[in-house]
Amino acid sequence: MTISTPAATPSSYRVAVLGLGAMGLPMATRLASELTVHGFDIAPARLALAADAGITPFDSARGAAEGVNAVLLAVRNGQQLREVLFGDAGIADVLMPGAVVIMTSTVGIDDVVSVAGRLAESGVQLVDAPLSGGPVRAGLGDLLIVVGAEPSAREQARPVLDLLASTLSVIGDKAGDGQAFKTVNQLLCGVHIAVAAEALALAEALGLNVESTLATLSAGAAGSFMLANRGPRMLDAYTEDGAEVLSRLDIFVKDMGIVTAAARGFGLATPVAAAAEQVYLLGQAGGLAAHDDSAVIRVIAPRAAV
């Protein structure tokens, strides 16, 4: 594994950001500070916000993608990835040879490898670059981005990656390597969130002050990023409005499904990950899919909102 060094940003570089949601808009805004950015979203209000941030709005994904050096995608799953590239209004046939598609989502190894092969037929390379950090850090260029791509593709994508990442780690030389790493990462994240919910629910059942317990746990050997980050939001999960949605619970339904499917493909047992997956599935079935993933504590310890 290597950590890349910064590269110069060409003034003529053009990038299309397709999808200007919670992550897409701050990423596009960050990129627009130095690059020419085309933006597309199905919501007119998001396009208006993009225009205010110096992004050139387009009324179609194909229009935004035409003639650019790179396209940045943040899609929900492999089906959406194939649709935006190869569907009836897909962009693949308007991309110029030598362009790169930068895929920032967690969709699984097989989908990314398949799509990369199809793009290569028209001279377009795919940069497998799943990221972590959230909307605020995206706007600051403070994301962790893990990259799997051929060296030439990485170089073409550098102006985008360097602006968005404070930590840019090259994990491998082919598309799919980034997804492989993110699969391992999500196993740990998903388990950590679920077990943090169990711990805080147990603390409350034992009659402990949950706020002080959380603070003390976070300072000791039992602490973790997910405990410190999701713990306070878990305390908000029981309020009438719930915790602010920074990462939807159904994202971990998808991600833990990717984890357990990948493990099964190698005949590898992942009993802890499988148990965590069931907790997220129960949350989704219980109407929590669109809630923040910290709401998983309500699966462990259901009680009325206050």
**Which residue numbers are catalytic?**
182
Question: Residue type at 304?
Answer: A
Report residue 183 as tokens: 């699969």
Q: Which long-range contacts (CB under 8 A, 24 or more apart) does 5-13 make?
A: 6/162, 7/155, 7/158, 7/159, 7/162, 9/34, 9/35, 9/159, 9/162, 9/163, 10/159, 12/36, 13/69, 13/70, 13/159
The backbone region for 67, taken as left when phi is positive above 0, alpha when psi lies in -120 to 50, beta otherwise, is: left
Q: How many residues does the chain have?
A: 306
**What is residue 2's three-state secondary structure?**
strand
**What is residue 174's three-state secondary structure?**
coil
How far apart CA 104 and CA 226 sit, in angstroms, is 21
Q: Where are the beta strands (DSSP E) in the chain?
A: 2-3, 14-18, 36-40, 56-57, 70-73, 100-103, 125-128, 131-132, 143-148, 165-172
How far apart CA 169 and CA 229 sit, in angstroms, is 23
- Backbone CA torsion sign across 212, 215, 220, 222: positive
Report CA-CA distances (Å) from 9 to 33, 93, 146, 269: 11, 26, 20, 45
C-alpha dihedral, 306 to 245 to 290 to 251, nearest 10°: -130
Q: How far is CA 256 from the centre of its chain?
A: 14
